[in-house]
């Protein structure tokens, strides 16, 4: 009887061991992907990256594990992009570097969308912008998956701007713009005088009067970094702060088609989620500006039409780097109707 009991116990233990081994093998991920970001650990982009990583793991039933590395832990955005070309970093949520192809500054052109509903159409996976940006990325060995929209961009100043919606009137304000033609040209087309100042020096420049304000900041960034020095905020929505979700072409080729589809669906939803969240964050930070004593001006899409048209008038000047062919296509697809 004892020997029979031992035999039964042994068989049960072997069965449990084999079941455990089988489960362990099944649970082991087929792919472990490094997901690099440039934003801080508590930034909305990083939160969304973590949500994406979790959802990919769940919806691929553990076949794909995604590990998130925020705050440029794997290098700045240019280095991360290079590593994606090589296949040594798998995924990213970063600014797209234009040194590999100047046409990728397409995503930063001003004046093609003036509200959040516009952005949902422009940045959809079946839209012209996505397809064109993916075309440029794929030539370099990287695949575009979607976009992270941080917020729409306005102008913050230390003194009132004259007739902010009339591009024919000089605003009487000297503003700092990012070091890209798309921003400088748009700012001047809207009637501002512009100056180039390194990002790290912007606060001091405004505080000391070297500049009277800034262009190129989304609302949250303007509030958190410049809320103590600006007095006026014009929510002109003339541009958008956007990062790109991308994956190495080498990594993508190793993923089963069914799991590729899962990832594409997750990223399409993440893009829309980021736009919806951006609208809420912009409204939240404008309310914080008001509470801080900053005068905030918001406008309807119709009221913004003149300055959007002024921004669009600068597009021919971008043809040198973008090519006339691309800008003609851009005007046809996203220009003022």
Q: Strand 295-298 relative to strand 31-37: parallel, antiparallel, unpaired? A: unpaired
Given a cut of 90, whether residue 15 has pLDDT beyond it is no
Given a cut of 70, whether residue 13 has pLDDT beyond it is no
What are the angstrom distances between the C-alpha of 334 and each of 35, 118, 123, 127, 249?
Answer: 31, 10, 11, 10, 28
Instruction: Name the DSSP letter for residue 79.
Output: H
Given a cut of 50, whether residue 5 has pLDDT beyond it is no
Mean predicted confidence (pLDDT) in 25-46? 88
Mean predicted confidence (pLDDT) in 243-264? 98
216: confidence class by pLDDT, cuts 50, 70, 90: confident
Mean predicted confidence (pLDDT) in 234-258? 97
CA 269 to centroid of chain Cα atoms: 14
**CATH architecture of the region 2-334:** 3-Layer(aba) Sandwich (3.40)
Domain residue spans of the chain: 2-334
Kindly provide the residue ranges of all beta strands, DSSP E only, lying in the chain, ordered along the sequence.
31-37, 64-69, 91-94, 142-157, 174-177, 193-196, 213-218, 232-248, 295-298
CB distance 308 to 111 below 8 Å: yes
pLDDT of residue 1: 47
Identify the burial level of 212 via C-beta atoms within 10 angstroms of its C-beta, where 0-12 means exposed, 13-18 middle and 19 or more buried: buried
Sign of dihedral through CA atoms 46, 52, 58, 63?
Answer: negative
Q: What is the pLDDT of residues 106-123, one digit of tens each?
A: 999 999 999 999 999 999
The two three-digit tokens of residue 72, written as one number: 């440029």
Q: What is the percentage of the chain residues whose pLDDT exceeds 70?
A: 92
24: confidence class by pLDDT, cuts 50, 70, 90: very low
Q: Note the pTM of the prediction, 2 decimals.
A: 0.87
Question: Which residues are paired to 154 by β-bridges?
Answer: 217
Q: What is the pLDDT of residues 175-208, one digit of tens each?
A: 999 888 899 999 999 999 999 998 889 999 999 9
pLDDT of residue 200: 86
Given a cut of 60, whether residue 251 has pLDDT beyond it is yes
Q: How far is it, in rounded angstroms, from Cα 210 to Cα 197?
A: 9
Q: How far is it, in rounded angstroms, from Cα 150 to Cα 45?
A: 7
pLDDT of residue 27: 60
Q: How far is it, in rounded angstroms, from Cα 98 to Cα 65?
A: 30
């Amino acid at each position: 009887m004892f020997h029979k009991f031992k035999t039964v116990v042994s068989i049960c233990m072997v069965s449990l061991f084999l079941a455990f081994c089988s489960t362990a093998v099944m649970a082991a991920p087929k792919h472990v992907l490094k997901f690099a970001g440039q934003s801080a650990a508590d930034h909305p982009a990083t939160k969304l990256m973590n949500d994406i990583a979790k959802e990919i793991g769940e919806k691929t039933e553990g076949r794909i594990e995604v590990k998130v590395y925020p705050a440029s832990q794997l290098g700045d955005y240019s280095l991360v992009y290079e590593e994606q070309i090589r296949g040594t970093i798998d995924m990213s949520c970063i600014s797209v570097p234009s040194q590999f192809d100047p046409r990728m500054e397409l995503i930063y052109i001003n004046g093609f969308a003036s509200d959040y509903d516009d952005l949902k159409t422009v940045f959809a996976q079946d839209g012209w912008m996505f397809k064109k940006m993916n075309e440029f990325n794929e030539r370099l060995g990287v695949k575009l998956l979607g976009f992270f929209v941080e917020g729409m961009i306005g102008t913050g100043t230390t003194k009132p701007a004259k007739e902010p919606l009339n591009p024919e009137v000089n605003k009487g304000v000297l503003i700092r713009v990012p070091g890209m033609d798309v921003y400088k040209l748009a700012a001047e087309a809207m009637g501002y005088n512009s100056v180039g100042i390194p990002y790290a020096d912007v606060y001091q420049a405004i505080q000391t009067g070297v500049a009277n304000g800034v262009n190129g900041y989304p609302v949250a960034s303007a509030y958190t970094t410049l809320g103590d020095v600006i007095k006026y905020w014009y929510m002109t929505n003339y541009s958008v702060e956007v990062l790109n979700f991308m994956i190495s072409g080498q990594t993508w080729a190793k993923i089963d088609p069914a799991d590729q589809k899962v990832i594409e669906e997750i990223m399409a939803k993440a893009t829309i989620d980021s736009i919806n969240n951006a609208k809420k964050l912009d409204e939240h930070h404008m309310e914080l500006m008001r509470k801080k004593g900053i005068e905030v001006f918001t406008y309807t899409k119709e009221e913004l039409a003149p300055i959007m048209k002024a921004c669009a008038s600068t597009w021919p000047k971008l043809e040198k780097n973008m090519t006339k062919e691309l800008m003609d296509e851009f005007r046809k697809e996203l220009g003022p109707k």
